[in-house]
Amino acid sequence: MRKPVFGGNWKMNKMVKESIEAVKQLKEELGDVERVEVAIFPPFTSLWAVKKIIEDSRIGLGAQNMYWEEKGAYTGEVSPHMLLDAGCKYVILGHSERRQYFGETDAGVNRKIKAALSLGLTPVVCVGESLKEREAGRAEEVVESQVKKCLEGLDLQQIKKLIIAYEPVWAIGTGKIATPHQAQEMHSFIRGILEELWGKKICSSMRIQYGGSVKPENIKELMKQPDIDGALVGGASLIINSFVKIVKYEE
Protein backbone atom coordinates (compact mmCIF):
# COMPACT_ATOMS: atom_id res chain seq x y z
CA MET A 1 0.00 0.00 0.00
CA ARG A 2 1.02 3.63 0.30
CA LYS A 3 4.17 4.27 2.30
CA PRO A 4 3.63 7.28 4.58
CA VAL A 5 5.93 10.21 3.84
CA PHE A 6 6.97 12.83 6.40
CA GLY A 7 8.58 16.13 5.45
CA GLY A 8 10.25 18.64 7.74
CA ASN A 9 9.87 22.12 6.21
CA TRP A 10 12.25 24.41 8.05
CA LYS A 11 11.09 27.47 6.09
CA MET A 12 13.39 30.51 6.61
CA ASN A 13 14.99 29.11 9.75
CA LYS A 14 18.36 27.72 10.83
CA MET A 15 21.85 28.95 9.95
CA VAL A 16 24.27 26.46 8.40
CA LYS A 17 25.71 25.46 11.78
CA GLU A 18 22.27 24.95 13.30
CA SER A 19 21.18 22.92 10.30
CA ILE A 20 24.21 20.66 10.65
CA GLU A 21 23.58 20.09 14.33
CA ALA A 22 19.90 19.39 13.78
CA VAL A 23 20.43 17.00 10.93
CA LYS A 24 23.12 15.07 12.78
CA GLN A 25 20.61 14.40 15.52
CA LEU A 26 17.98 13.53 12.94
CA LYS A 27 20.32 11.04 11.32
CA GLU A 28 21.04 9.37 14.64
CA GLU A 29 17.33 8.95 15.29
CA LEU A 30 15.97 8.25 11.82
CA GLY A 31 18.97 7.48 9.60
CA ASP A 32 17.89 3.91 8.89
CA VAL A 33 14.14 4.42 8.95
CA GLU A 34 12.36 2.06 6.55
CA ARG A 35 8.74 1.89 7.59
CA VAL A 36 8.11 5.44 6.37
CA GLU A 37 9.82 7.89 4.03
CA VAL A 38 11.46 10.96 5.57
CA ALA A 39 12.60 14.14 3.83
CA ILE A 40 14.05 17.32 5.22
CA PHE A 41 13.67 20.75 3.59
CA PRO A 42 16.33 23.16 4.89
CA PRO A 43 16.84 26.68 3.50
CA PHE A 44 18.89 26.83 0.27
CA THR A 45 21.99 27.99 2.12
CA SER A 46 22.11 24.77 4.16
CA LEU A 47 21.33 22.24 1.42
CA TRP A 48 24.87 21.21 0.58
CA ALA A 49 26.00 20.96 4.20
CA VAL A 50 22.95 18.87 5.10
CA LYS A 51 23.44 16.65 2.08
CA LYS A 52 26.97 15.81 3.20
CA ILE A 53 25.60 14.51 6.47
CA ILE A 54 22.61 12.52 5.28
CA GLU A 55 23.95 11.10 2.03
CA ASP A 56 24.68 7.70 3.56
CA SER A 57 21.32 7.55 5.36
CA ARG A 58 17.72 6.93 4.31
CA ILE A 59 16.72 10.55 4.94
CA GLY A 60 15.98 12.44 1.73
CA LEU A 61 16.84 16.05 0.97
CA GLY A 62 14.47 18.60 -0.51
CA ALA A 63 14.23 22.31 -1.32
CA GLN A 64 11.39 24.66 -0.47
CA ASN A 65 11.00 26.21 -3.91
CA MET A 66 12.67 26.57 -7.32
CA TYR A 67 12.30 28.31 -10.67
CA TRP A 68 11.47 26.40 -13.86
CA GLU A 69 14.34 27.53 -16.08
CA GLU A 70 17.66 25.70 -16.19
CA LYS A 71 19.93 28.75 -15.99
CA GLY A 72 20.30 32.33 -17.13
CA ALA A 73 19.56 35.90 -16.15
CA TYR A 74 17.03 35.28 -13.36
CA THR A 75 18.57 37.08 -10.41
CA GLY A 76 17.71 35.51 -7.11
CA GLU A 77 16.30 32.27 -8.50
CA VAL A 78 17.44 28.66 -8.14
CA SER A 79 16.97 26.11 -10.93
CA PRO A 80 15.94 22.45 -10.67
CA HIS A 81 19.38 21.52 -12.05
CA MET A 82 20.99 23.39 -9.16
CA LEU A 83 18.80 21.51 -6.70
CA LEU A 84 19.84 18.17 -8.17
CA ASP A 85 23.45 19.32 -8.06
CA ALA A 86 23.04 20.15 -4.35
CA GLY A 87 21.73 16.63 -3.69
CA CYS A 88 17.97 17.24 -3.61
CA LYS A 89 15.47 14.54 -4.35
CA TYR A 90 12.31 16.52 -3.49
CA VAL A 91 11.04 20.06 -3.94
CA ILE A 92 8.06 21.77 -2.29
CA LEU A 93 6.04 23.68 -4.87
CA GLY A 94 3.11 26.06 -4.43
CA HIS A 95 3.37 26.40 -0.66
CA SER A 96 0.71 28.80 0.59
CA GLU A 97 3.39 31.18 1.89
CA ARG A 98 4.81 31.39 -1.65
CA ARG A 99 1.33 32.04 -2.99
CA GLN A 100 0.51 34.60 -0.28
CA TYR A 101 3.74 36.62 -0.03
CA PHE A 102 5.40 36.09 -3.39
CA GLY A 103 2.48 36.06 -5.76
CA GLU A 104 2.82 32.47 -6.96
CA THR A 105 0.03 31.26 -9.19
CA ASP A 106 -1.30 27.84 -10.12
CA ALA A 107 -0.01 28.37 -13.66
CA GLY A 108 3.50 29.05 -12.35
CA VAL A 109 3.33 26.03 -10.05
CA ASN A 110 2.30 23.94 -13.07
CA ARG A 111 5.43 25.01 -14.99
CA LYS A 112 7.60 24.30 -11.95
CA ILE A 113 6.09 20.84 -11.49
CA LYS A 114 6.83 19.95 -15.11
CA ALA A 115 10.40 21.23 -14.86
CA ALA A 116 11.01 19.33 -11.61
CA LEU A 117 9.59 16.09 -13.00
CA SER A 118 11.62 16.33 -16.18
CA LEU A 119 14.75 16.05 -14.05
CA GLY A 120 13.48 13.35 -11.74
CA LEU A 121 12.84 15.57 -8.73
CA THR A 122 9.76 14.64 -6.70
CA PRO A 123 7.45 17.64 -6.35
CA VAL A 124 5.51 18.05 -3.13
CA VAL A 125 2.59 20.07 -4.44
CA CYS A 126 0.78 22.15 -1.82
CA VAL A 127 -2.89 23.06 -1.99
CA GLY A 128 -5.29 24.42 0.60
CA GLU A 129 -8.06 26.93 1.23
CA SER A 130 -7.99 30.06 3.41
CA LEU A 131 -10.21 30.55 6.45
CA LYS A 132 -12.39 32.98 4.54
CA GLU A 133 -12.88 30.46 1.78
CA ARG A 134 -13.73 27.68 4.22
CA GLU A 135 -16.18 29.86 6.10
CA ALA A 136 -17.84 30.80 2.83
CA GLY A 137 -18.32 27.08 2.11
CA ARG A 138 -15.88 27.24 -0.80
CA ALA A 139 -13.09 24.98 0.49
CA GLU A 140 -13.69 22.14 -1.95
CA GLU A 141 -14.18 24.43 -4.92
CA VAL A 142 -10.89 26.24 -4.18
CA VAL A 143 -8.89 23.07 -3.65
CA GLU A 144 -10.36 21.44 -6.75
CA SER A 145 -9.38 24.42 -8.85
CA GLN A 146 -5.82 24.43 -7.42
CA VAL A 147 -5.39 20.70 -8.03
CA LYS A 148 -6.68 20.87 -11.60
CA LYS A 149 -4.68 23.96 -12.58
CA CYS A 150 -1.44 22.90 -10.90
CA LEU A 151 -1.54 19.44 -12.46
CA GLU A 152 -2.85 20.43 -15.87
CA GLY A 153 -1.31 18.57 -18.77
CA LEU A 154 0.52 15.94 -16.71
CA ASP A 155 0.46 12.40 -18.03
CA LEU A 156 0.09 9.19 -16.06
CA GLN A 157 3.82 8.63 -15.75
CA GLN A 158 4.26 12.12 -14.32
CA ILE A 159 1.26 12.12 -12.03
CA LYS A 160 2.25 8.98 -10.18
CA LYS A 161 5.53 10.54 -9.10
CA LEU A 162 3.93 13.44 -7.24
CA ILE A 163 3.25 13.92 -3.58
CA ILE A 164 0.30 16.19 -2.77
CA ALA A 165 0.21 18.14 0.49
CA TYR A 166 -3.17 19.38 1.67
CA GLU A 167 -2.45 22.35 3.92
CA PRO A 168 -5.45 24.43 4.95
CA VAL A 169 -3.98 27.93 5.17
CA TRP A 170 -5.85 28.65 8.42
CA ALA A 171 -4.04 25.74 10.09
CA ILE A 172 -0.49 26.69 9.12
CA GLY A 173 1.55 28.00 12.02
CA THR A 174 -1.61 28.93 13.89
CA GLY A 175 -1.94 26.02 16.29
CA LYS A 176 -5.40 25.43 14.82
CA ILE A 177 -5.60 22.05 13.24
CA ALA A 178 -8.18 20.60 10.93
CA THR A 179 -9.99 17.84 12.78
CA PRO A 180 -8.99 14.40 11.52
CA HIS A 181 -12.49 14.21 10.05
CA GLN A 182 -12.14 17.53 8.16
CA ALA A 183 -8.72 16.50 6.89
CA GLN A 184 -9.91 13.06 5.81
CA GLU A 185 -12.87 14.59 3.99
CA MET A 186 -10.62 16.84 1.93
CA HIS A 187 -8.01 14.14 1.31
CA SER A 188 -10.64 11.79 0.00
CA PHE A 189 -12.10 14.61 -2.10
CA ILE A 190 -8.64 15.29 -3.61
CA ARG A 191 -8.08 11.61 -4.31
CA GLY A 192 -11.46 11.55 -6.02
CA ILE A 193 -10.44 14.40 -8.35
CA LEU A 194 -7.18 12.64 -9.19
CA GLU A 195 -8.93 9.35 -9.83
CA GLU A 196 -11.45 11.00 -12.07
CA LEU A 197 -8.74 12.57 -14.19
CA TRP A 198 -6.00 9.94 -14.15
CA GLY A 199 -7.79 6.75 -13.14
CA LYS A 200 -8.17 4.77 -9.97
CA LYS A 201 -5.27 2.44 -10.56
CA ILE A 202 -2.57 5.13 -10.43
CA CYS A 203 -4.20 7.54 -8.00
CA SER A 204 -5.05 5.04 -5.30
CA SER A 205 -1.29 4.69 -4.83
CA MET A 206 -0.54 8.45 -4.71
CA ARG A 207 0.42 9.93 -1.39
CA ILE A 208 -1.47 12.87 0.08
CA GLN A 209 0.17 14.47 3.10
CA TYR A 210 -1.59 16.65 5.63
CA GLY A 211 0.07 19.88 6.77
CA GLY A 212 -0.81 22.58 9.28
CA SER A 213 0.14 22.62 12.96
CA VAL A 214 1.03 18.92 13.00
CA LYS A 215 2.50 17.94 16.35
CA PRO A 216 3.40 14.75 18.25
CA GLU A 217 0.06 15.14 20.08
CA ASN A 218 -2.16 15.14 17.01
CA ILE A 219 -0.36 12.98 14.46
CA LYS A 220 -1.72 9.63 15.64
CA GLU A 221 -5.35 10.52 15.03
CA LEU A 222 -4.54 12.05 11.66
CA MET A 223 -2.67 8.93 10.56
CA LYS A 224 -5.65 6.76 11.43
CA GLN A 225 -7.55 8.34 8.54
CA PRO A 226 -7.56 6.17 5.42
CA ASP A 227 -6.52 8.90 2.96
CA ILE A 228 -3.84 10.63 5.04
CA ASP A 229 -0.42 9.37 4.01
CA GLY A 230 1.95 11.36 6.18
CA ALA A 231 2.56 14.99 7.04
CA LEU A 232 4.38 18.10 5.95
CA VAL A 233 5.58 19.57 9.23
CA GLY A 234 6.69 23.18 9.69
CA GLY A 235 7.16 24.54 13.22
CA ALA A 236 7.43 21.17 14.95
CA SER A 237 10.16 20.01 12.56
CA LEU A 238 12.52 22.69 13.86
CA ILE A 239 12.74 20.76 17.11
CA ILE A 240 14.21 17.43 16.16
CA ASN A 241 12.73 15.56 19.14
CA SER A 242 9.25 16.63 18.07
CA PHE A 243 9.79 15.73 14.45
CA VAL A 244 11.13 12.30 15.43
CA LYS A 245 8.07 11.71 17.62
CA ILE A 246 5.83 12.61 14.69
CA VAL A 247 7.64 10.24 12.35
CA LYS A 248 7.50 7.49 14.98
CA TYR A 249 3.80 8.08 15.63
CA GLU A 250 3.11 4.38 15.95
CA GLU A 251 5.52 3.75 18.83
- Under rule CB under 6 A, residue 129 binds ligand PGA: no
Q: Pattern 201-230, binding to ligand PGA, x per CB under 6 A?
A: ----------xxxx----------------
The least distance separating ligand PGA from the CB of residue 174, rounded to whole angstroms, comes to: 7
Instruction: Return d(Cα 57, Cα 26) in angstroms, integer.
Output: 10
| CA distance readout (Å), 164 to 69, 172, 186, 191, 218 | 22, 16, 12, 10, 20
Shortest distance (Å) from residue 152 CB to ligand PGA: 23
Q: Which of 98, 184, 235, 249 binds ligand PGA (CB under 6 A)?
A: 235
Per CB under 6 A, contacts with ligand PGA among 168-207 are 172-173
* Closest residue by beta carbon to ligand PGA: 234
Any contact of residue 232 with ligand PGA (CB under 6 A)?
yes
- Is 167 part of the annotated catalytic residue set? yes
Q: Give residues with Cβ within 8 angstroms of 132, minimum separation 6.
A: none
Does 36 engage in binding with ligand PGA (CB under 6 A)? Answer: no
81 labelled catalytic: no
Secondary structure (DSSP) of the chain = -PPPEEEEE--S---HHHHHHHHHHHHHHHTT--SSEEEEE--GGGHHHHHHHHTTSSEEEEES---SSSSSS-TT---HHHHHHTT-SEEEES-HHHHHHH---HHHHHHHHHHHHHTT-EEEEEE---HHHHHTT-HHHHHHHHHHHHTTT--HHHHTT-EEEE--GGGTTSS----HHHHHHHHHHHHHHHHHHH-HHHHTT-EEEEESS--TTTHHHHHTSTT--EEEESGGGSSHHHHHHHHTTT-
Pick between residue 9 and residue 46 the one whose CB is nearest to ligand PGA.
Answer: 9
The residue type found at 177 is I
Question: Restricting to residues 130-169, which ones interact with ligand PGA according to CB under 6 A?
Answer: 167
Minimum distance between the CB of residue 237 and ligand PGA, rounded to whole angstroms? 7
* Binding residues for ligand PGA, total number by CB under 6 A: 13
With respect to ligand PGA, which residue has the nearer C-beta, 6 or 198?
6
Find the catalytic residue in 37, 95, 97, 129: 95
Report the residue number, 9 or 79, with the smaller CB distance to ligand PGA. 9
Spot the catalytic one: 97, 129, 133, 167: 167
Provide, rounded to whole angstroms, the least separation between the CB of residue 96 and ligand PGA: 7
Catalytic residues: 95, 167
Positions that interact with ligand PGA (CB under 6 A): 9, 167, 172-173, 211-214, 232-236
